[in-house]
């Protein structure tokens, strides 16, 4: 499954060795969520994620009837 900005992959890939799945990138970061984070998403909450001490990424579970 692949979206424009989300891809489901089997493992972390080395951005120095490959351009998959998004083309050239300069860095990568592995984030792990806990079961309680997944539960919060399922309850309609957002996860605010600190991205490398510089950016914030928000993660939301898309609902089927989400506009």
* 67 residues of the chain, pLDDT tens digit each: 456 788 888 988 888 887 778 888 888 888 999 999 999 999 999 999 998 889 999 999 998 775 5
Q: Where are the alpha helices (DSSP H) in the chain?
A: 35-42
**Residue from 28, 2, 29 nearest 15 by CA:** 28
């Amino acid at each position: 499954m692949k979206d424009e900005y989300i891809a489901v992959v089997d493992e972390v890939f080395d951005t120095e060795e490959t351009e998959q799945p998004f083309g050239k990138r300069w860095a990568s970061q592995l984030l792990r969520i806990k079961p309680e984070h997944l539960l919060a998403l399922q309850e309609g909450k957002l996860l605010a994620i600190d991205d490398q001490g510089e950016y914030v990424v928000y993660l939301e579970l898309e609902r089927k009837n989400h506009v």
